[in-house]
Amino acid sequence: MICFNKPYGVLSQFTPEGQWRGLKDFIPVPNVYVAGRLDADSEGLLLLTDDGKLQARIADPRFKMEKTYWVQVEGIPDEAALVALRNGVQLKDGPTLPARARVMETPPGLWERVPPIRVRQTKPTAWLELVIREGRNRQVRRMSAAVGLPTLRLIRAAIGPYTLDGLSPGSWREQAV
């Protein structure tokens, strides 16, 4: 399996599209496939494998593999927002499963994003750690927005036991399963 720290502006596919780059610019390994996608405007851990059963186990919500996200939000989370995230929030496509949610310091070893996020002088920002077991389209962004905290930056830090540890943006490593 390959653990890849996907930079901002890179698609979760090998072929580039429009303004977005593809994985072929970073991973010269043939016949591996993404197990769980990240949007081009999200960063962080992407797993790739040549094992179809492993790919399904990682990506399929039925297996409930936890995914840990670091979310920089606009605004300061209050206890009501954290409780709502912990209980599950109502989205247009139905309620989310309960999440683990906590306010955190800026993630250790955080790299600069290129391009940087927009910052408004009148709005403070904060970091949340959000752990979910689903994988709906843009789910973390929609969850934070549902509690009044728009996402400015989204980094997937872990998928189950696999983490970003030691990976700079655009780098990858092979990892035993």
Please tell me the total count of domains within the chain: 2
Residues 142 and 99 in one domain: yes
pTM of the model: 0.94
| 67 SS3 class | strand
- The yes-or-no verdict on residue 146 having pLDDT over 80 is yes
Residues 155 and 165 in one domain: no
Structural domain boundaries enclosing 131 = 66-159
pLDDT tens figures, 81-140: 999 999 999 999 999 999 999 999 999 889 999 888 888 888 999 999 999 998 888 999
pLDDT at 60: 76
Banded model confidence at residue 172, pLDDT cuts 50, 70, 90: very high
Select which of 39, 41, 60, 165 is catalytic: 39
CATH number of the domain that 48 lies in?
A: 3.30.70.580
Q: What's the rounded mean pLDDT across residues 62-70?
A: 88
Distance between the two ends of the chain, CA-based, in angstroms?
7
To the query of whether residue 25 is one of the catalytic residues in this protein, the response is no
